[in-house]
Amino acid sequence: MTDMTSREAALDRFADAFVETTDRYRIVPGDEVSEAPMPDADAVAQATEMVVRTLFDVLRDTRLEGIADQIAWGIVHSFHRVASQLERQADGAAQSVQRLIAQADGSEIGSVELEEAQMLCHSLDETQDAVACMRDYAAETYRAETGKAWSSPRATQVSSKRTASVIAATDFLAARRKRQIDLKAPHGPVVIFSGGQTWEDHRLLYRTLDGIRARIPTMILATTAQDKGCDAIATAWAARSGCKVIAFDLNRRLGRRAGFARNEQLVGLNPVEAVVCEGSGLQSHLAREVRKHGIPAHFITIADQHQARSTR
């Protein structure tokens, strides 16, 4: 994907994220209900880009130029932290709605409480979508300026796609559950990805994933959810490309078998393709499983990245 295409994809997400999905808005319990509109999507996109680009412009050709990328990384991370906090608050609000539904007794007070809790949850979802969209565009601007992918310390960079607005509390929760399922187990051809936690060259992985997506534009990327190295690079690529990600965490209850069980889960997705980068014994095990099941695959070694860097 070219820089221009990547930027356009990031901009396209603003149209969906910056729309009102609820007439009454409140994200802090007890605050006044607001009927104010969402900010203009184009204006927010321009402001988000300006925040990052202006920093590089001001520090260029000065003695602080060398740390511009570190400061810009922090700016993107600030968007990410706010989006993550909003997501946690929305999850808590959804649990409150579920509890109120279970306790519903038909009283007017109960109905009002349920309506207020649903409005809070819906408002938080809407706000998180908008901030995550800003985060992703700031990350894309960072990448355009530095040539490096931005990734959070925990490599969590998922921008949600909001479902249609609903009214009934039960329908709202069902839609929210479906939305979470779509994020974590979406429908589409799956490409599995795994690699070591020490990796220097993101360009080789980007080229590989770009090539796969050019052939399989509706691909879903399934990773082993590592917070650094190859998986963090793949997650940043997915955010840049607008590709959905399924992050497979370890089931710690399985003890020493957890990593191997995760590999079996990945292969059990019936992937159409695989990317396995050199890493630990878990990557070696996954590579064997991929070969055994005849899955078309790209096996990338540490030597491959050194060779790619030396030929530039």
pLDDT tens, position by position, 242-257: 788 888 888 778 888 8
Confidence at residue 1, expressed as pLDDT on a 0 to 100 scale = 41
Cα dist from 51 to 58, 141, 169, 170, 301, whole Å: 11, 10, 39, 41, 38
pLDDT digits (tens, 9 = 90+) for 75-133: 999 999 998 899 888 888 888 887 887 776 667 666 778 888 888 888 998 898 899 88
Range scoring the smallest mean pLDDT among 40-54, 173-187, 254-268: 173-187
Question: Which residues contact residue 12 at a Cβ distance below 8 angstroms, ignoring those fewer than 6 apart?
Answer: 242
Are the CB atoms for 17 and 42 separated by under 8 Å? Answer: no
Confidence at residue 184, expressed as pLDDT on a 0 to 100 scale = 54
The answer to pTM > 0.85 is: no
Domains and CATH numbers, the chain: 3-184 (no CATH), 190-310 (3.40.50.450)
pLDDT band at 310 (very low <50, low <70, confident <90, very high): low
